[in-house]
Amino acid sequence: MKKWTMALSLALAAAATAAPAHAVDLKGREIRLAVDPTYPPLEYKTPDGKLTGFGVDIANALCAQLNARCVSVETSFDGMIPGLLARKFDVISSSMTITPKRMEQIAFSNKISNAPARLVVRRGSSLLPDAGSLKGKRVGVEQGTSQEDYARARWQSAGVEVVAYQNQDQVYADLVSGRLDAAFQASIEASDGFLKKPEGKDFEFAGPAMDDPKYFGQGDGLGLRKQDVALRDAFNRALAEILANGTYARINRKYFDFDIYGAK
């Protein structure tokens, strides 16, 4: 895959730096993973209700590497950080962007994937992802996301109506119905979860990818409580191991035709 060797080297180096002097034994331990299953192809449900997706498979691979017993806890994205801090679960495993704002509250694992944000509009629209173009328009975002933070900080004060929804499916439903002029979300989720589906046939990306590090950070990682240093380090080691042994690459190929680890 493109840039795979460089990405792998960087991941292994980062994991090695983070490795503690004494490893924690997680064999058989129950670890509760928070998942928002409304973000295909990252996290979603099959017609029979089974959780699946790239993020779910990666989390399962990490847990297998740790010999831990992981249990998924379905949670809306905007409730993940409060739920983590309230000990309703142990790890946020849905793709959460590592940002300075979030790092004030929680800790993160090393980067697991990377997807810049993109604006989706109806085909033929002249809208672009800037305040001037979107002034007077309604832009849908999912609550609690870095896209919501960016849109409110950069666009709302300029007259853009930012409309937050509890899950991404609701954003797309209102976009298709015409109640929204645009949707703002991670590019991979929009591409595979909407634009490649029948309901997304009349829509397209508008303008360039948005990757302001203040809001979109350095990629996506697992979210953990700051005091759970041993657990974070264990997941970092497991991540380095599945990158090295080919498990990550196999899961990547199952869902994407590009390297999601280094995607930009």
Confidence of residue 67 (pLDDT cuts 50, 70, 90): very high
Q: Which is nearest to 102 in space by CA: 76, 77, 73?
A: 77
Alpha helix positions (H), 67-206: 80-85, 100-103, 131-134, 146-154, 168-177, 187-190
Domains of the chain (ranges, CATH numbers): 4-114+218-255 (3.40.190.10), 117-215 (3.40.190.10)
Single pTM value for the model: 0.72
Return the structure tokens found at 140: 């849908």
The neighbouring-strand residues paired with 223 are 92, 108
Give the pLDDT mean for 152-174.
97
pLDDT tens digits for range 98-109:
988 899 999 999
Please write the tens of the pLDDT for every residue from 68-90: 999 999 999 999 999 999 999 99
pLDDT in tens, 241-264: 999 999 999 999 999 877 888 765
| Vertex 42 angle, CA 40 and 44, to 5° | 50
- Interval 121-153: pLDDT, tens: 999 999 999 999 999 999 999 999 999 999 999
- Selected residue with higher pLDDT from 16 and 222: 222
**pLDDT confidence bin for 26, thresholds 50/70/90:** confident
- Beta strand 203-210 with 91-97 is unpaired
Mean pLDDT for the stretch of residues 182-191: 92
- Give the pLDDT confidence of 204-220 residue by residue, as tens digits: 999 998 988 888 878 99
